[in-house]
Chain A
């Protein structure tokens, strides 16, 4: 509980971090202000002024890509031309009548709150002249996990690499859940890769808070192949377990290099789950028959035994298979939590996860060459990494501190 009186003691940090207050002191009351473009703004008020100041910190360079609701640009800090940021400009849609879109609001809301090495960092938000929202994100130049998985010609990777990627994914998801945020769209395509090889959970357009268990939620989330059975049965109350299922699907896909449960419709998706894992029944999932769209299937497929999973996924070892199976438990209440996921014995067993800078990367070379600069910046962490080889340590949850794996 955040009740400590220390939260209230005037801290220098806070006085300066309440930028509006600090800013006001230095803001002369001018009649006109000239912004960088030389355009004269008549009587910009405080918030407009703050906004302009943020906007003027950055320079856009070139277009990087186009998403469903945004255009993404490469940019840099004006005061540091070597810096790199991604500027995600949310499109204003003339036909969209409900004001700022819910996806944009969600993405901004959660990225403002979540700060973790495995969640894409948002440095700033500002609005352009034409009221476009611009999110200044950390630049993640190495594409996404989907690209790596699909490039089976160009990129080879093994268990140690999968372990490193999955640990990073697990930590990012754990941090979301620790903050009562469900991501609700975890898939390889939304896992972006930083210059140093780190995995970053991105795209929070479907995220929501699940602090209040009484709220009914929509089942219509998560891309089908990664959607857990409770959502396919249209459950209205659910929790972190939905993301954990998706994590399991990503894990399986990393091993197989093709999507594990690629249903062609919602019905087919359930069918694929029954085939691969087993049919949900009251025995293996008490209460399932009360879910809205539950239909008792004609032919009940028994739960698949560990042997059959070992056959498919055995390359990651018995421990890895055990962990994978625990993410793909039909009953969401018995599925592992993100925290338990990170506490699994697999992480500390051989092989050790690949060091981030040695992970395979787009173009087929490891990130090592490029990483020299990063290492310098990260100072002390280098020594920790060296230690990790000798001593099998427990997985660090990585909340804004060092990376132990």
Chain B
């Protein structure tokens, strides 16, 4: 069983990987389903209103719902907000990345018209802290956010987990990027062992990497130090793409983590990435020649696509016109929100109160034991001190 096979058993692959078309279709269907729900709900609330107030609004205009593009812009904006919050609070990279993917996954099947991303955002971050071993008590977490209570953060949690279809594991490309960079350094130091079946020697690879063409395609001969510098620059740039573009675009839905980090490397330093790919594929049939194999070419074109996606403008923060546009969308949303789904705290209470099935003392014992367990989890990141209040 190789890594490809293992990856195919992951929920990220089984539940959250799509073809571009499936992704578009899914978003379109979610949008139209939500829109019709919104129209129905608004009609219901108007009917109720007219019953009790017995007057006015005869000719009510049809509700103008968000389009798929508008929904995506809005969700994207709240994803950047979530990232800013995580950066500001000095949360680990994994918390930030997981929180953003939670939001993106949630809004594949849910519309902002049904549940506002502002409500879901904090819940997604909080859930991500629990999933990524950075567990903080809710009181402390709520304190970090002005005008927000623990209830505001927890009320949508359940909807969120349901929307995530109870899959919490998000596979990120960070660790593999570090591994790849380490290999590149080994290549330049002459300590890299080529894959089984490759006809390249360690020395071939060392000589080869020092001759990798520059960005602009100029032939080069680097000293080992210059090469190490170059790898470092590529590392930083690729790392940057992984913490921004990779998160905000659909990269995670369309590509595997390995493809994502290699694409980031490709975007950072194309000749270097091409060299790396050629070497690591040199153990595959037809891999060990100077010309790229057909597998390699196919892979390269796929990585180019992914690199293009992640470095497109949509992966940066909004500029002034985009901000105006976002304001417009937000205003529009005000009029097309599903009125029955706004009060999440209230909805949540209603459900919880209907559930007093369990015996009290039984609960106490259970609670004690579980809290002990959770304390262990919590303790795990108390290690970081309490850098979270700002």
User: Which one of B9, B165, B168, B370 lies within 8 Å of A93 (CB-CB)?
Assistant: B370
Specify which chain B residues have a CB less than 8 angstroms from the CB of A295 in the assembled complex: none
Chain A neighbourhood of B258, CB < 8 A: 1-3
Kindly list chain A residues whose C-beta atoms are within 8 Å of the C-beta of B14. Answer: 17
Per-residue interface assignment for chain A, residues 388 to 402, with 1 indicating a CB less than 8 Å from any chain B CB and 0 otherwise: 000000000001000
B379 touches A220 (CB 8 A): yes
Which of B130-138, B199-207, B225-233 lies on the face that meets chain A? B130-138
Note all chain A residues with C-beta closer than 8 A to B166: 108, 112, 125-126, 133
Contact B22 A21 (CB under 8 A): yes
B157–A1 touching, CB < 8 Å: no
Contacting residue for A102 out of B9, B94, B257, B374, CB 8 A: B374
A294 smallest CB distance to B (angstroms): 18
Bound-complex Cα distance A392 to B39 (A)? 69
Is the beta-carbon distance between B19 and A10 smaller than 8 angstroms? yes
Is A236 in the interface zone, CB < 8 Å from B? yes
Residue numbers in B under 8 Å from A2 (CB-CB) = 3-4, 6-8, 256-259
State whether the Cβ of B15 lies closer than 8 Å to any Cβ in chain A: yes
Identify which of residues 101-126 in chain B touch chain A, using a CB-to-CB cut-off of 8 Å. 108-110, 114, 126
Q: A216's closest neighbor in chain B, by CB?
A: B383
Range for the number of chain A residues in contact with chain B: 35 or more
Are B302 and A5 in touch, CB under 8 angstroms? yes
Known: A8-B254, A10-B19, A47-B162. A99 touches B157 (CB 8 A): yes
With A and B bound together, what is the CA distance between A358 and B108 in angstroms?
Answer: 49
Contact A24 B30 (CB under 8 A): yes
A282 to B164, CA, bound (A): 48
Are B167 and A112 in touch, CB under 8 angstroms? yes
Tell me if B162 and A7 are in contact (CB < 8 A): no
| Number of A-B residue pairs with CB-CB distance less than 8 Å in the complex they form | 231
B18 at the interface (CB under 8 A from A): yes
Decide if A45 is an interface residue (CB 8 Å cutoff).
Answer: yes
Shortest CB distance A330–B (Å): 24
Contact status of A48 and B162, CB under 8 A, knowing A99-B138, A131-B352, A218-B379: yes
Cβ contact within 8 Å between A7 and B355: no
- Whether A43 pairs with B41 at a CB distance below 8 angstroms is yes
B301 to chain A: closest CB distance in Å?
A: 9
B35-56 vs A: 1/0 string, CB under 8 Å?
Answer: 0110011000000000000000
Q: How far is the CA of A133 from the CA of B165 in the complex (A)?
A: 11
The reply to whether A4 and B4 form a contact with Cβ atoms under 8 Å apart is yes
User: What's the Cα separation between A110 and B378 when bound, in Å?
Assistant: 18
Check if B176 is an interface residue, CB within 8 A of chain A: yes
CA of A133 to CA of B371 in the docked complex: distance in angstroms? 18
> Chain A's interface: helix, strand, loop or mixed, by majority?
loop
- By a CB distance below 8 angstroms, the chain A residues around B19 are 8, 10, 14-15
Instruction: Please encode chain A, from 15 to 50, with 1 for each CB lying within 8 Å of some chain B CB and 0 for all others.
Output: 101111100110101010000000000110111101
Residue in B40, B369, B376, B380 whose CB lies within 8 Å of A69: B369
Q: Which residues of A contact B127 (CB under 8 A)?
A: 99-100, 105
Chain A 254-283 against B: per-residue CB contact (8 Å), 1 yes, 0 no?
A: 000000000000000000000000000000
Cβ-defined contact, A97 with B108, below 8 A:
no
Q: In the bound complex, do residue B37 and residue A14 qualify as a contact, i.e. CB atoms below 8 Å apart?
A: no
Q: Contacting chain B: which of A151-159, A205-213, A363-371?
A: A205-213
Digitize B80-114: 1 where CB-to-A-CB distance is under 8 Å, 0 elsewhere: 00000000000000100000000000001110001
* Centre residue among B32, B161, B355, B379 by max chain A CB count within 10 A: B161
A1 x B3 contact (CB < 8 A): yes
| Complex CA–CA separation, A24 to B130 (angstroms) | 31
Q: With the chains together, A41 CA to B165 CA distance in Å? A: 19
Q: Does A98 contact B (CB under 8 A)?
A: yes
Minimal Cβ-Cβ distance residue in B for A9: B19
Decide if B15 touches A109 in the complex (CB within 8 Å): no
Residues B373 and A68 in contact, CB atoms below 8 Å apart = yes
Residues of chain B within 8 A of A4, CB atoms compared: 4, 299
The answer to whether A216 and B380 touch (CB under 8 A), given A1-B258, A132-B355, is yes
- Across-interface contacts of B139 in A (CB, < 8 A): 97
**Across the interface, do B133 and A45 meet the contact criterion of CB distance under 8 Å?**
no
CB nearest to B157 among chain A residues: A99
- Contact between chains at A7 and B9 (CB < 8 Å): no
A206 and B373 form a contact (CB under 8 A): yes
Q: Choose among A5, A50, A105, A399 the residue that contacts B299 (Cβ–Cβ < 8 A).
A: A5
Q: Are A103 and B33 in contact (CB under 8 A)?
A: no
Residues of B within 8 A of A215 (CB): 133
- One of A50, A68, A98 near B366 (C-beta < 8 A): A68
Q: Is A339 an interface residue (CB 8 A)?
A: no
A179 within 8 Å of B by Cβ?
yes
Given A2-B4, A131-B158, A7 and B13 touching (CB < 8 A)? yes
Is the CB–CB distance between B131 and A20 below 8 Å?
A: no
- Chain B residues with Cβ below 8 Å from A3 are 4, 256, 258-259, 262, 299
Q: Does A95 contact B (CB under 8 A)?
A: yes
Q: Which of A1, A18, A106, A217 contacts B18 (CB 8 A)?
A: A18
**Given A45-B34, A47-B110, A47-B165, is A93 in contact with B138 using a C-beta cutoff of 8 Å?**
no
11 contacts across the A-B interface (CB closer than 8 A): A4-B4, A8-B19, A68-B370, A68-B373, A69-B366, A99-B154, A106-B377, A112-B11, A129-B351, A129-B354, A130-B355
Q: 4 closest pairs, A vs B, by CB?
A: A130-B355, A2-B7, A125-B166, A24-B29
> Known contacts A47-B109, A179-B6; can you find 15 more A-B pairs with CB under 8 A?
A2-B3, A10-B19, A17-B14, A24-B109, A45-B37, A46-B110, A69-B373, A98-B130, A100-B157, A105-B168, A115-B9, A131-B158, A178-B6, A209-B133, A220-B376
